Chain A
Amino acid sequence: MGMDRREFIKWCSLLAVGSMLGGCRKLPFVGDAAKKDLPSFKMFEAEVRRAMSMPSHRMELVRVSMPGRLNRPGASEENRFGMAIDIDACDGCGKCILACIQENNIPLVTEDESAKGRFMHWIEMRGGVPFMCAHCGNAPCERACPTGAANHTPDGLSAMMYKRCTGSRYCGANCPEHARKFNFNDAVQQGLSLKFNDKVPVRSKGVMEKCSLCLHRLQDDRLAVKTAGGVWRGRGVKTACAEACPKKAIVFGNWLDPESPLVKVARRRDLYAPADLAGLDPSIVYMMGGK
């Protein structure tokens, strides 16, 4: 074949240019052929039961005062959302965990991880008491995030922007209670994910996640109220866990709204927080005694 060096290099570079052009577009015929079957709902229930049967240590709780206005620039004067969990009323049934899974499309984990007790659940039982991200006003996880994916909203949510997360996992390491969960698996590809709720995107592999305080519900309510021209105090909203609790032990509300059921209940009770979060101005606290 009569091809000199010059010709050879030319064709090589042509090939390279061609493949580079192709590479910058998503090809239409690359499908999800390798995708596994969808899991059944029973598998989620079984996983919650398994998580509940794992040994856990009781949280060390200390007294805190009622959360107030956020101490950060740009904070809202009207809204700071949070929850109070009534330890006296909670019997540790775990319905909140399942409700949270269904609301937020939380994936299953593999058999290996499950045996080690590493679940993706945003709520876990610690000594029979539900624990989730406390949405600290002074959140140490957000300070460690190199991309700004973990950030705070003016109304007191520690939010996660999944598309910004590059998976450094600094936030997870910097959370004193390790409330954050990392997606080690491509849950959709491995057949570990079921899309229960269209309003919440399924997280991809390599992304950190945690309790969002049902951010999508708050967003929807805010937009609806603002469309109608009202002042938004989040009064129509409840998180999925609070809705599911048969004992009404989880109370969602707005700490800065005296009309909020949260403030009305928490005012008469003694409030507690995990000892290592107490100094970080948590929005989610525990109630005991008082009345």
Chain B
Amino acid sequence: MKWSLVALVALLCAFFLADLLMNRVAEPTRRGDGAAVPFVHAMHGDSIGLPCSACHTGAYTTVRAYLPSKADCMDCHRLPLTEGAGIEALDSALSKAPEHPWSKKSSLPEHVVFHHGVHHSAGVACADCHGTGYAKDVYGGERFDMRTCLDCHRGKTFRDKNFKAAVYCAACHR
């Protein structure tokens, strides 16, 4: 009795652990060495007047919102921005950083088309779908499914914003 109970609990724990490890939603992975200075959204976004598309190029106009390449970072960081301590660590981290510091494989299935640009044009803010997790640099918190899409396309999610969009299958599926 006792042993089978222990075995059952162990089995469940093993399953949920495996589930947690293998079934995570896609999140950006960071390349390069561990000495790199962690990226902080709070220092790069609204606080210095940058729109999301400044680094996530294409977010307002194309299908994908890309992750910045090192060149995108260097657009601003080639000049020393601050004086005093800390900048040396940042400079050396930037010089050592790989050409594409982040990568993310989209978890969107290939039979679905999602266009970031058209949503921006329709007045959907990035944070409407991506929440505020990014501001705390917590990635991968979003879990999108068709219900999320449909609720908003039917105008149920943001009643005050009066969103209404196509709900026929072939608008998004191919």
Contacts and interface: CB of A to CB of B under 8 A. Distances in A.
Interface of A: 7, 10-11, 14, 17-18, 21-22, 25, 28, 74, 148, 151, 153-154, 157, 159, 161-164, 198-201, 212, 215-216, 219-220, 223-224, 226-229
B4 A223 contact: no
A215 B15 CA distance: 41
Interface residues of B, number: 29
A220 B1 CA distance: 61
Given A223-B118, A227-B115, A14 B170 contact: no
A74 B122 CA distance: 21
B169 interface: yes
Interface of B: 1, 4, 7-8, 11-12, 15, 18-19, 22-23, 61, 63, 110-111, 113, 115, 117-118, 120-122, 168-174
A223 B63 contact: yes
B169 A159 contact: yes
B57 to A, nearest CB: 15
Contact of A215 (B7, B11, B170): B170
A219 B22 contact: no
A224 B118 CA distance: 7
B110 A14 contact: no
Contacts of A228: 121
Contacts of B22: 25, 28
A148 B173 CA distance: 13
A145 B9 CA distance: 46
B3 to A, nearest CB: 10
